[in-house]
Structure 1
Amino acid sequence: MFRRNCLAMALMSVCGTMVHAAEKVGIKPETVPGRADYPELRAGTQLDHLYESMLANGFGISNPNIGKDKPVVVIVSDTQCPWCSKLWSAAKPLQNQVNFIWFPIPVLRDLSIDQAALILSSEEPWDAMQHHEDHFKDKDFRGINPVGTTVDKKYRDEVWTNAKIARWSGLTTVPLGVFKNSSGKYIPIPSGTDTEHIKKIVGIEKDVKELQ
């Protein structure tokens, strides 16, 4: 009897310690508050900082043949991210109507750094990015293979610069696109956005004001 009581007390003590330890870990991901205007984004995500800082100081990949008068969309992504690849597919039909600028950051794997650096170092980064996406679903290797290719360290540094900007902007998920409309409002293009919704956001078919 005494032994059972001691065991029960010990278990209660351990459970109490676990609960206390869990409380110290912090807020569970599903309880982190979202932005009031865009609930799909975590509170603290600074769309304006992300957009302006990436354009000013980041290292992006864009269609070299796109006109300067086209709408600009900044997109932060990871080369190993399936949802990023889906957003690429959604944006692809509009690549001659919208200036999508992709800023790679490493989130999922170390391989993301190598792939991003290789793409940025290419003579034609946009073509390299398209090649990567064309082979994203390959069974043997997801996307462009950097193994055996030497890339100057400066391109890895460029990837890390993008990552720092993303972190300082409060980014907690990829992909995330941002469009700045004619009124100066920054509108997110989150994971799962399809082609038609992108059209609406950038105002290709309808006035973007209807989304405000």
Structure 2
Amino acid sequence: MLKRPRARNAALLAALLMIVAGSGQAQSPATPGKAATDRPAVLKGVEKHGFEVMGEFEAPGGLRGFAGLVGGQQPAAAYVTADGTHVLVGSLFNEKGEDVGEAALDRLVAKPMSDKIWAKLDASSWVRDGRADAPTVVYTFSDANCPYCHHFWQAARPWVDSGKVQLRHVMVGVIREDSPAKAAAILGAPNPSAVFLENEHNFSKGGIKPAATISAALANKLDVNQRLMLELGFQGTPGILFRDPQGVVQRVSGMPQGEDMEKVMGPR
């Protein structure tokens, strides 16, 4: 899944879990909302390691807390010492075992990052499966030849047919040689949703016929979709993205198992 702040990417954070010495002047603790120009110079050290500052939050013990992204993907907190000369990237816990930066990461990083991801998905080339006014939208990177995509489509019928969920299939062509041509046949059809459903209903018989040719415009759409799939961390299909109750984008790689289906689709 697209992890919440409490479960950050350990490999990325490992490169940043260090104390970085700086040469800036000593600074007093800051209040939230200070301008970017007031940020301690020592933050430039971790920015070189891929930490992008998104905002500042209150931190205990005279520290300054900064919410950010590691590698453009994972929310993480950075804590600058009171003298402004050192910074630690990672989790800071209080006596109750609570991560003091978690709420700030949700507010300053996770939600804005989720909105950005959702906007990219909205702008991709997808095929609607379900009612246009369904209250829940779930995106899935799909290949017309992918058996696990087909299993997900089948498992989703109770939610889709009841009008509770709209699936948006972001078409890619990665499974077989004719996958791009089948995706092009779907995206290039006058009614893409109807052709997509035809492929699913006839999946056991080989699905739809691939397009004889792929126009430059359709090839570009497929290329953009595939790059987005890789950018969001999926190596194969299905790659499923949905919003949790807090509006934060979560993800499932592959066919959801057990209770994960209701986490993705909501209650039946």
**In the alignment, what sits opposite 1:144?**
208
The C-alpha deviation readout for 1:23-47, integer Å capped at 9, x for no partner, is xxxxxxxxxxx978499xx988959
Q: Tell me by how many angstroms 1:152 deviates.
A: 3.4
Assess if the C-alpha contact under 8 Å between 1:179 and 1:187 holds in 2: yes
Q: Which residue of 117, 120, 125 maps to 1:59?
A: 125
Q: Which residue of 1 aligns with 2:149?
A: 84
The residue that corresponds to 1:108 in the other structure is 175
Q: TM-score, normalised by structure 1?
A: 0.65
Identity of aligned residues (%): 22
TM-superposed deviation, 1:81:
1.2
Residue of structure 2 equivalent to 1:134: 201
Residue 198 of structure 1 pairs with residue 261 of structure 2: yes
SS class of match (2:128): coil
What RMSD in Å do the two structures reach over aligned CA positions?
3.1
Q: Which structure 2 residues correspond to residues 112-191 of structure 1 after superposition, within 5 A?
A: 112-138=179-205, 142-146=206-210, 149-191=212-254
CA distance 1:76–1:50, change in 2 (3 Å):
farther
Cα distance in 1 for partners of 2:198, 2:192 equals: 10
Aligned mates of 1:38, 1:114 — CA distance in 2? 38
How far is 1:176 from its partner?
Answer: 1.3
Q: CA deviation at 1:127?
A: 1.0
Deviating 4+ runs (over 6 angstroms): 42-45
Decide which moves more: 193-202 or 124-133: 193-202
> How many residues of Structure 1 are paired with residues of Structure 2 in the alignment?
164
Distance change in 2, residues 1:66/1:115 (3 Å)? same
Q: Aligned residue for 1:23?
A: none
Q: 1:99 aligns with which of 161, 166, 180?
A: 166
For structure 1, list consecutive stretches of 5 or more residues without a partner in the other structure.
1-33, 206-212
The structure-2 alpha-carbon separation of the partners of 1:191 and 1:170, relative to structure 1 and needing over 3 Å to count, comes to: closer
Deviates more, 1:90-99 or 1:183-192: 183-192
Q: Residue by residue, what CA displacement relative to the aligned partner does 1:13-64 show, whole Å, maximum 9, x if unpaired?
A: xxxxxxxxxxxxxxxxxxxxx978499xx98895946544121x31000037
Equivalent residue of 2:210, what SS? coil
**Normalized against structure 2, the TM-score is what?**
0.53
What letter corresponds to residue 93 of structure 1 in structure 2? P
Amino acid at match of 1:62: R
Shift of 1:90: 1.1
Cα distance in 2, alignment partners of residues 38 and 108 from structure 1: 30
- Considering fraction of residues, name the structure with more helix: 1
Q: Which amino acid aligns with 2:176?
A: R
Task: Determine if contact 2:129/2:169 at 8 Å carries over to the other structure.
Answer: no
Q: CA deviation at 1:92?
A: 2.2
Letter aligned with residue 190 of structure 1: S
Higher normalized strand content (fraction of residues): 2
Structure 1: how far apart are the matches of 2:259 and 2:144?
A: 24
Cα-to-partner distance string for 1:175-209 (whole Å, 9 max, x where unaligned): 1111112312222233232596433434335xxxx
